[in-house]
Amino acid sequence: MMLSKLLEKPEVESASYRISGGAIYVTLNMKVSGVVKIEEKEIKLNEKNILCEYCGMKASKYYQSTLQIRADENILEKVIEDVVKHADFMNKHDKFAFVSSIEKVRGGFDILLGSKQAAAKIANNLKKKYHADIKMSSKLSGYIKGKTAYKDTILVSIK
């Protein structure tokens, strides 16, 4: 804004700039009362981290489903690895298919997922791969645009 107002003045013949080390250096070539003058000013830049909608949701630990993984210690890490890989793969088509957090609890892990559909697909995949038992429940979490919103909890028990 300030630079555009300067450039409108008749005494400014040309302007250039360069960006270096968190600052913009503006050089103005001016002619005032027949005298050529070169002015250089430094303008410090303020950096702002801006996240996309989905990255912001992930950073705020947004979730629609909790995947409760209960298994023996010897295969628990492998199962968690499978869940994370599957969520990363599904994230290419469903931007809400991300893991918000993984919490260690007694008997296993609770994994918070941004997408109900992704959580259901991952649970079914674990059922097939590990012959797991699955139980699902929903809980009213509020209202979104006047419609009721539920958060799902899917228990995956691997014996």
Domain with CATH 3.10.20 in the chain: 53-157
Total count of residues recorded for the chain: 159
Q: Which two tokens stand for residue 137?
A: 């429940």
Q: Would you say the pTM of this structure is higher than 0.75?
A: no
Q: What CA–CA distance (Å, rounded) separates 91 from 52?
A: 14
Q: What is the pLDDT of residue 4?
A: 67
Q: What is the pLDDT of residue 7?
A: 66
> What CATH fold (topology level) applies to the domain 53-157?
Ubiquitin-like (UB roll) (3.10.20)
Q: Which residue has the tokens 């259901």?
A: 120
Q: What is the pLDDT of residue 125?
A: 94
What pLDDT shows up at residue 17? 85
In the structure encoding, which two tokens stand for residue 130, read together? 């590990």
Per-residue pLDDT in tens (0 to 9) along the chain, 159 residues: 566 676 677 777 788 888 888 888 888 888 877 788 888 888 888 888 888 888 888 888 889 999 999 999 899 999 999 999 999 999 999 999 999 999 999 989 999 999 999 999 999 999 999 999 999 999 999 998 999 999 999 999 998
Give pLDDT, residue 129.
Answer: 93
**Pairing state between β 108-113 and 133-144:** unpaired
Instruction: Extract the runs of DSSP E, i.e. beta strands, from 62-117.
Output: 65-70, 99-105, 108-113
**CB-CB neighbours of 19 under 10 Å:** 10
What does the alpha-carbon distance between residue 43 and residue 23 come to, in Å, rounded to a whole number? 5
